[in-house]
Structure 1
Amino acid sequence: MRWPPWRRHVPASPLAELPVAAVQLAQRLPDPEALRRRAKGLAMLDAVLIEDRDSRTFDFDTGWGVSEELASMDDGSGNAWSITFTPVGVWLRGFDHESPMSPWAGEHDFDWLTAVPEPLRQAAAEPAFTGDDLPLVSVACWRLREDEGWHPVRLRSGVAADTPDGSDWLFAELEGDDAAHVAYLQESYEIEVDPQDVEHVLTLQPLSEELVRRLNHERRLADLTQDIARIGYPGPT
């Protein structure tokens, strides 16, 4: 593969102690299929609630690449995550723009990309998730198909193991329960939603015209045809 600019110019450094928050995140993350289903539910719920795709927080693209799917989050304030699902494994990266682990706070001086398994390096070096030739990552984990757990990534040496990297809050909607997401929607979008309707979508049950109208009286099931196809959500009833 062709190495990105931020990879080619990073000097070799000794390994740092694994970041505590990233280790804890790796222990909390569900298996890839559960993560994939949750991410699809979050994306579909946003598609129902928000017409403009560019204004949504969560998205899922089943056609991201050849045999690859991408789940993503962008809060519009500079914080984001993405999860690349490939036939051989999964690459997860998060970016807290205020974290000391951001490359703008201090260069990633550990050549971390070489520590990522070769089959996932292309996903880890994806140009879409860089800015000014720097990787938009403050925390990352990977998991190959045959693995029984997630592996946190060392991004930098010479920093304390308890340096905050965004792990404790970036992925809350992926890890949280349905009730927590209802509270998130009510606070973030200032709307009232029926918890049962939210659970219906987050558990990937087929949509109906009535459900869509209850969640957003300005949306219709026909409006969601392209979103349903892109997200890979089950067909409507």
Structure 2
Amino acid sequence: MSVLSNFAAVLPAPGVLRERLRVLVALEAAFGSRWARYAFDGVDESGFERFRFENGGGDDYHVFLSPSSVFLRAFDHESRMSPYTDYALCPGLLDGLPEDFVPFTRLPQDEETFPALTLALWHDGIAWRHGDPRPQDGGKPELTDWMLRPLVYFTPAALADHFGSYYSRPVDIETLEAVMGGAAFDRALVERLASKTVWEPVEELLSRLDAPAS
């Protein structure tokens, strides 16, 4: 199996992926960041929900979800598979991509001649699929999945480390357990995570996410 196939095998199904993304976006808001890495961009005209992650250092991923299908794209600016190396997309990266997902390969921030992609996978309602990337230097394709690990290793301990390291503060694991168990985000829960966070913007985001809120 290729590294892409191995990674595809551990990615969650569309419904589970959506719930994990919602939790990550809500948690980011609960910490009161001025520049949120995790964001929800709403539903587009084609009916796909759009989630994204941007670390501010040139790396990002975008997830487009319908009720039964997903397109996931990521860009690692330090990867040797970066299209900025040869000013062209890595050959084979999008082999077999269904037509419905093609519009998501070109975003406003992409270059005119190539999209900023080092990783692409899609779920067609049956299973996760991917292309057959062939780096132009002849080496093996890199799996630029590091930014997606919170979606795969989705445990209270892993998320406590993920957010605690970024915000340089301890994160209450019991609160994360409650959130991941389906507890409603309310003012008291947010205060347990970050006491200085302003509640109203979090409440508005939760409404947009259709997340449970008190």
- The bucket for the TM-score relative to the shorter chain is 0.7 to 0.9
Distance 1:82 1:208 in 2: 27
Distance 1:161 1:83 in 2: 27
Q: Give the aligned partner of residue 162 of structure 1.
A: 140
**How large is the RMSD of aligned CA atoms in angstroms?**
2.3
Distance 1:136 1:174 in 2: 21
**Which runs of 5 or more structure 1 residues have no equivalent in the other structure?**
1-17
Contact 1:43 1:59 survives alignment (8 Å): yes
Q: Give the aligned partner of residue 121 of structure 1.
A: 102
Q: Give the aligned partner of residue 83 of structure 2.
A: 103
Shift of 1:71: 1.7
Q: 1:172 to 1:216 in 2, by over 3 A?
A: same
SS in 2 for 1:82: strand
Shift of 1:143: 1.1
Distance 1:131 1:59 in 2: 22
Q: Give the aligned partner of residue 212 of structure 2.
A: 234
Contact 2:83 2:90 survives alignment (8 Å): no
Shift of 1:32: 0.8
**Which runs of 5 or more structure 2 residues have no equivalent in the other structure?**
none
Q: Give the aligned partner of residue 14 of structure 1.
A: none
Distance 1:111 1:23 in 2: 14
Query: Identical aligned pairs, as a percentage?
Result: 24
So what's the TM-score if we normalise by structure 1? 0.79
Q: Give the aligned partner of residue 4 of structure 1.
A: none
- 1:1-237, aligned counterparts within 5 Å? 20-52=2-34, 55-87=35-67, 89-106=69-86, 107-108=88-89, 110=91, 113=94, 115-123=96-104, 125-128=105-108, 130-131=110-111, 133-145=113-125, 147=126, 149-156=127-134, 158=136, 160=138, 162-167=140-145, 169-176=146-153, 177-236=155-214
Contact 1:103 1:138 survives alignment (8 Å): yes
SS in 2 for 1:207: coil
Shift of 1:21: 2.6
Distance 1:219 1:158 in 2: 47
SS in 1 for 2:147: coil
The count of residues paired between Structure 1 and Structure 2 equals 212
Q: 1:175 to 1:87 in 2, by over 3 A?
A: closer
Shift of 1:229: 2.1
Q: What code does the residue aligned with 1:93 have?
A: R
Contact 1:182 1:193 survives alignment (8 Å): yes
Distance 1:180 1:109 in 2: 32
Q: Provide runs of 4+ in structure 1 moved above 6 Å.
A: none
So what's the TM-score if we normalise by structure 2? 0.87
